[in-house]
Amino acid sequence: MDRKRAVNSTGERASAKLRKARIRHFLLTTGPNRLTRGWFYRRHHAEDLLVREEDIFVPGWPKAFDGIRIGHISDIHVGDLMLADRALGVVEQLRIAAPDMICNTGDLVDLHWPGVETVAEAIADIKAPLGNFFVLGNHDLLDSGDEVARIVSEAGTTVLQDEVALVRRGEDELRIGGIGWARTPAQCKQRIDRAIGDETVDLLLSHNPKALDHAAIKGIPLTLSGHTHGGQIARRNRPNANLAVIHGHIRNAGLYEHGDSRLFVTVGAGSLFPLRLNVPAEIAILTIRSQ
Ligand SMILES: [Fe+2]
């Protein structure tokens, strides 16, 4: 496949965004790393990963699925800041946590992705009993969203692109909606409506947390998102006072409410630039409680 001519899954030619992302990557990542003779990367690669355990009380969550543990992973960004070997270590932490379901809210890759197939296979191989789901993030689309979706799907994970999957346990059913990358609240609305029509779902996966407003209108009890990285730099003891606010992400780390709807935003396992201050990389193990 000629990646330069690839068209992403929104039908939009990706090359302009790809060029912009490469320039940003040089300015924020490879350039400073060269100037510091590799210190930035060495320090970044030595940082720990937090396994964050949270109980989330969700009005309207189906009683039959009370207490399920969701392994929420996002923004792995396989690339030069997250080499495949390191990503496999992150996935191992997820496997050890033994979640009932895995929800990956996108940005699996970033610019260069040697070894991503191995990472996708390792995630799928965890064999969470209630399934393993993935939605695309904006960085997945930079090169070829279709290619990322193919790799994830062939590994054995369900890729949700404006569609709904059903998880059955006995006679009970959990409805999971997933949308592709949507930059604005209006685009989120469009994709949510395309995915669920006049119905609703119990759980929505959206890379962008801006999906919450429309999720609340549609009566969706729980939305899981990533994308913000928690800004990667936050004020001490104030995780929500972070750089993501610059991009208009007010809901940028942790749990949020909108009416009866809940949103959890993970700060992600990988990074956009090789520095995290007061925002450690994480995977989240969420125990969902019916309320
Ligand atoms: Fe990301």
C-alpha of residue 63 to centroid of ligand 1, in Å = 33
Candidates 109, 85, 88; CA nearest to 25 is 109
Element housing 87 (H / E): helix 84-97
C-alpha of residue 276 to centroid of ligand 1, in Å = 13
Query: What residues form DSSP beta bridges with 254?
Result: 265
| Residue 118 buriedness (CB in 10 A; 0-12 / 13-18 / 19+) | middle
Mean pLDDT of 270-274: 91
pLDDT digits (tens, 9 = 90+) for 46-65: 788 999 999 999 999 999 99
Residue 22 has pLDDT above 60, yes or no: yes
Q: Which residues contact 192 (CB under 8 A, 6 or more apart)?
A: 177, 179, 204, 206, 211, 214, 215, 218, 220
pLDDT digits (tens, 9 = 90+) for 201-220: 999 999 999 999 999 999 99
C-alpha of residue 139 to centroid of ligand 1, in Å = 6
With tokens 């997945």, the residue in question is 140
Kindly report the average pLDDT of the chain as a whole number.
91
Residue 12 has pLDDT above 80, yes or no: no
Phi first, then psi: what are they for 187, rounded to 5°?
A: -70, -35
Residue 187 has pLDDT above 70, yes or no: yes
- Whole-prediction pTM: 0.91
The CATH topology of domain 13-290 is Purple Acid Phosphatase; chain A, domain 2 (3.60.21)
C-alpha 225: how far from its chain's center? 6
C-alpha of residue 200 to centroid of ligand 1, in Å = 27
C-alpha of residue 229 to centroid of ligand 1, in Å = 6
Check if the beta carbon of residue 224 is closer than 8 Å to that of residue 135. Answer: no
| Other beta carbons less than 10 A from residue 117's beta carbon | 15
Give the angle 6-12-16 at the CA atoms, nearest 5°: 75
pLDDT tier, 14 (very low <50, low <70, confident <90, very high otherwise): low
C-alpha of residue 134 to centroid of ligand 1, in Å = 14
Check if the beta carbon of residue 151 is closer than 8 Å to that of residue 120. Answer: yes
Distance CA 163, CA 232 (A): 31
Distance CA 6, CA 13 (A): 7
Mean pLDDT of 131-153: 95
Maximum distance among all Cα pairs of the chain, rounded to whole angstroms: 60
The pLDDT of residue 13: 52
The pLDDT of residue 4: 35
Mean pLDDT of 102-128: 94
C-alpha of residue 80 to centroid of ligand 1, in Å = 14
Check if the beta carbon of residue 216 is closer than 8 Å to that of residue 259. Answer: yes
Candidates 124, 178, 130; CA nearest to 151 is 124
Candidates 272, 241, 219, 212; CA nearest to 74 is 272
Q: Which residues contact 119 (CB under 8 A, 6 or more apart)?
A: 76, 78, 84, 87, 88, 91, 108
C-alpha of residue 13 to centroid of ligand 1, in Å = 20
Reduced to 3 states, what is the DSSP secondary structure of residue 220? coil
C-alpha of residue 278 to centroid of ligand 1, in Å = 17
pLDDT tier, 38 (very low <50, low <70, confident <90, very high otherwise): confident
With tokens 């390792």, the residue in question is 122
Residue 8 has pLDDT above 80, yes or no: no
Element housing 42 (H / E): helix 39-45
The pLDDT of residue 155: 98
Q: Which residues surround ligand 1, an ion (CB under 5 A)?
A: 75, 107
Domain ranges of the chain: 13-290
